[in-house]
Amino acid sequence: MAKYKVNKEKCLGCGMCEVNCPGAIEVDKSGKAKILDSEKLAKCGGEEICPQGAIEKVEE
Ligand code: SF4
């Protein structure tokens, strides 16, 4: 299963990932995205759902 991480330096907290893939990722209190469900995120397109390139695949 693919694994992802959020590059906090690139993440702007725009919330697009949350809109594109509800339940898989959310912007937390720090204003940065946090992955909730990697499997769901993979199904939505993984790193492609972030226009800033802040979602990075760490493992296939
Ligand atoms: S991960 Fe990308 S789409 Fe999600 S809040 Fe951060 S910059 Fe926006």
Q: How far apart are the first and last CA of the chain?
A: 6
Where along the chain do its domains lie? 3-59
Q: In this structure, which topology does domain 3-59 adopt according to CATH?
A: Alpha-Beta Plaits (3.30.70)
Tokens 């693919």 locate to 2
Please, which residues have CB within 8 angstroms of residue 56's CB and are 6 or more apart in sequence? 4, 5, 6, 7, 47
- Average pLDDT of the residues in 13-28: 98
Among 17, 26, 34, name the best residue to mutate to test ligand 1's pocket (greatest count of ligand atoms within 8 A of Cβ). Answer: 17
Chain centre distance of CA 31: 13
Give residue 1's pLDDT band: very low, low, confident or very high (50, 70, 90).
confident
Which pLDDT does position 27 carry in this prediction? 98
- State how beta strands 55-59 and 25-27 pair: unpaired
Task: Tell the residue nearest (CA) to atom 2 of ligand 1.
Answer: 50
Distance 2 CA to ligand 1 centre (A): 18
Which pLDDT does position 56 carry in this prediction? 98
